Structure 1
Amino acid sequence: MITSVNWISDLPLLATAAESEYAPFVLAGVLLSLVIIYLAGKLGGELSKMMDLPPVLGELLGGVVVGISALHLLVFPDSGVIASESVVITTLKFMGNLTPEAVTAIFSSQSESISILAELGVIVLLFEIGLESDLQELKKVGYQAAIVAVVGVIAPFTAGTVGLIFLFHIPVIPAVFTGAALTATSIGITSKVLSELGYLKSKEGQIIVGAAIIDDVLGIIVLAVVASLAKTGEVDIVNVIYLIVSATIFLVGSILLSKFFNKSFVFIADKLQTRGKLVIPAFIFAFFMAFLANAIHLEAILGAFAAGLVLDETDKRKELDQQVVPIADILVPIFFVTVGAKVDLGVLNPMASEDREGLIIAIFLLIVAICGKLITGWSVFGQQGINRFAIGCGMIPRGEVGLVFAGISEASGILEKPLQAAIIIMVISTTFLAPPLLRQALKEISSEVKENADIS
């Protein structure tokens, strides 16, 4: 997953808000937003469970209902919304008789606070997924996951770029940028569904997670390439090589770290006497690894996932799993509801002439987006009885990753409105289609395979 939080630049804004006279209103806005998020997430999750669908789909849909597409209870400036369109901010304005300048400042700070909480949510989610994964099993399917990831990047990128150029006569740079948006995979959504269904430790689940992690690294590289291409018309080769080398060293180094870190971690946890003696050191390690990844221009979630894999090898893994779950239950829904809230279904209006062209292109992109990932399952070889369809389905969702590409394209100004709309429609569709498709695909896995995965 590719995210776009600039931690260093955000902190002064939040500090300024906290020290100002508006700080109580920012806090009130954050608290009211959290009430909305938890209500939407819980109600959506429960309804999805009742319909035998993955709860994460309900959280996403709950976010859509309270977000920019419907009730405007949870909206963000980066979605093109102004403060007066936010129900939360309008409520605060009524309560405090605020000036327009105050309203704008509060809206900005409140939105940044929720966005950072959402980022913490996905970091905790990937840490939890790392703990639930099996490093030894990941090693066994590592080469298969790498092949799946590479095919899952090359196939949709090539088909999307070439198709846009020759079928729709899109200029090369916008076509390349749109093709890049097709390469991403949202590991957050897929891994959550696998975990909820109990298939995370199955062979299919391990290939999907491993491929999604590699896909994330490849996505960062692709994004760096197209971003430099959009700005200068040239590719910064040095930056691309740096990203490849740093990602490889970081991930391999994290795996090697597990061999001698485990005993030290257990020793420290046993020596501590106060509350949180296990979970606090674990989160110190997870956040530090996330920081290191971010510092070398990778994604923080890669560091969190690597930390989970390392701690999964300790003797206290089961106890740590139990202590991390309630923390994840608090933070992770913020991430999924926020993703849903930022989805603008207004781009799906066929009555608007500017949207119709985007809808036609979107249909093409959606076909490429689905088929380009589905075929990855058939790139797996040497595995008897493997559910190839499930692997392909697990690679489909673009989620927040695709939204970041859409946001960058809007900021760069290199895409016309129809093409921007088409990318957003593709992101929306793959995000919501993938969980039920994956669930249906996983039903084909025999109960024997599942039992063996649970036992391991």
Structure 2
Amino acid sequence: MTYLGEIALILFATTIAGALSQRIGIPSVIGQLLVGILLGPALLNWLQPGELVHVGSEIGVIILMFMAGLESDLKLLKRYFKPAISVATLGVIVPMVCFYIYGIVMHQSFERAVFWGIVFAATSVSISVEVLREFGKLNSKEGATILGAAVVDDIMAVLILSIFVSMFSSGQSGAPNLAISLAEQAAYFVMVFVIIRWVAPVLIKLFERLPVPQAVPIMSLVICLGMAYLADLTGLSAVIGAFFAGIAVAQTNAHEEVETNIAPIGYAFFVPIFFVSVGLEMRFDHFWSNLGLILGMTIVAILSKLIGGGLGAKLLGFNFHSAYIVGAGMVSRGEMALIIAQIGYQAKLLHPNLYSELIVVIVLSTILAPLLLKDGIERGGQVKECVRKRSDRVG
């Protein structure tokens, strides 16, 4: 029954850390991430990234992205889908080019240098979503662009990974057929459209008639977990399915009831476990001996996404501060990069001695991303305030 103590420790520590973070003016998610580093193998070693944490974190990130979809404005997402494609495209190309060059400079082989780029081309906006929500920016043009870009980015990363592993993998046999994978993913997005347009509203109406407490929230969770599972089966990230499930439920009359009932479950239990799980991946085994490599990779990881994503937004008419917010929102690598790194390690596309260092860089970029996003949002707010005061004087 030791898992009961672990859960109690996680919930207590993340609550205190979140409160302290807000008190000193940083996003509460930073404190929760640091709890994982403090209590995990990197320092105190009180918690291990075992099955409990793994399952809890998967459910946590799925609920987090479901709530993001539930709170998103579908019209706004459609309006900024074109900038999202630009942000995702440059946000993939720039990191891949930068990490390929950096890998060659660090004497990696062609395949390993390219794979570095694939790992850091991935984006995980689940943590950025929490910061956007905290600052009331989830339903802004920047928030809509970041969410839309995350969907496109995920598809691009999966396609590039599938092609690369099938061409260069020496540790896996029978790599999935690319044409079949593409067909499955295309079918999935057709299914998403059908669910949003017809299936979700019908299911929600049916469950509204059942004389069972919480029937509608339960049905919404079935839709969420089902779409996440199907996304995972097609090779996409489960969080993409959860996000679209949130959008589907948001189009029904049960939007407020679902949000009121699901949010406490997620934010009081599963979401903190997810944030802690990211910190638990940190290790300091060879940190000091490879400090130069780690710092160099972290700088490239942050700047390549910040510049790539920001440039993609700037080219589509965003001003500098909005482009900076979008770029910062794409910096977090999180679970998507961790999964790709693990696949590369199993396929012998990563040097065994550098695997742990790569994980450290992924975690560091994920921890620093909310700080960059907070800085961008605050700078954007200051600019708007200056413009407003100037307008008042002119008026």
Q: Quote how far apart the aligned CAs of 1:154 are.
A: 1.1
Q: Quote how far apart the aligned CAs of 1:141 are.
A: 1.0
CA contact (8 A) 1:148 1:379 kept: yes
Match of 2:32 among 59, 71, 83: 59
Match of 2:42 among 48, 60, 69: 69
> For 1:242-300, what per-residue CA distance to the aligned partner results, in whole angstroms no more than 9, with x for missing partners?
33343343234313432223541342233122211220111111111122222323222
CA contact (8 A) 2:112 2:350 kept: yes
Correspondence 1:75-224 to 2 at 5 A = 75-76=48-49, 111-165=50-104, 167-224=105-162
Is 1:429 the equivalent of 2:364? yes
Q: Quote how far apart the aligned CAs of 1:388 are.
A: 0.5
1:377 is aligned to: 310
> For 1:196-215, what per-residue CA distance to the aligned partner results, in whole angstroms no more than 9, with x for missing partners?
22111010011011111221
Cα distance in 1 for residues equivalent to 2:53 and 2:81: 35
Q: Quote how far apart the aligned CAs of 1:422 are.
A: 4.0
Cα distance in 2 for residues equivalent to 1:279 and 1:304: 14
Q: Quote how far apart the aligned CAs of 1:333 are.
A: 0.9
Cα distance in 2 for residues equivalent to 1:446 and 1:52: 15
1:226 is aligned to: 164
> For 1:6-43, what per-residue CA distance to the aligned partner results, in whole angstroms no more than 9, with x for missing partners?
xxxxxxxxxxxxxxxxxxxxxx0321221122122112
1:274–1:433 Cα change, 3 Å = same
1:245–1:140 Cα change, 3 Å = farther
Is 1:337 the equivalent of 2:270? no
- What is the TM-score of this pair, normalised by structure 1? 0.77
1:397 is aligned to: 332
2:295 is aligned to: 363
1:309–1:448 Cα change, 3 Å = farther
> For 1:118-173, what per-residue CA distance to the aligned partner results, in whole angstroms no more than 9, with x for missing partners?
211111111111101112211111121111111111111122113322x2231111
Cα distance in 2 for residues equivalent to 1:257 and 1:438: 33
1:346 is aligned to: 285
- What is the TM-score of this pair, normalised by structure 2? 0.88
CA contact (8 A) 1:43 1:62 kept: no
CA contact (8 A) 2:166 2:175 kept: no
Q: Quote how far apart the aligned CAs of 1:445 are.
A: 3.1
The percent of aligned pairs where both chains have the same amino acid is 31
Q: Secondary structure at the match of 2:121?
A: coil
One-letter amino acid matched to 2:310: G
CA contact (8 A) 1:41 1:59 kept: yes
Cα distance in 1 for residues equivalent to 2:191 and 2:48: 40
CA contact (8 A) 1:226 1:235 kept: no
Gaps spanning 5+ residues in structure 1: where? 1-27, 77-110, 350-354, 451-456
CA contact (8 A) 1:204 1:387 kept: yes
1:20 is aligned to: none
Q: Quote how far apart the aligned CAs of 1:69 are.
A: 0.5
CA contact (8 A) 1:374 1:396 kept: yes
Q: Quote how far apart the aligned CAs of 1:222 are.
A: 2.7
Cα RMSD (Å) of the superposition?
2.6
CA contact (8 A) 1:75 1:342 kept: no
1:137–1:416 Cα change, 3 Å = same
Q: Secondary structure at the match of 1:244?
A: helix
Gaps spanning 5+ residues in structure 2: where? 386-395
One-letter amino acid matched to 2:180: Y
Cα distance in 1 for residues equivalent to 2:174 and 2:76: 36
CA contact (8 A) 1:362 1:422 kept: yes
One-letter amino acid matched to 1:365: M
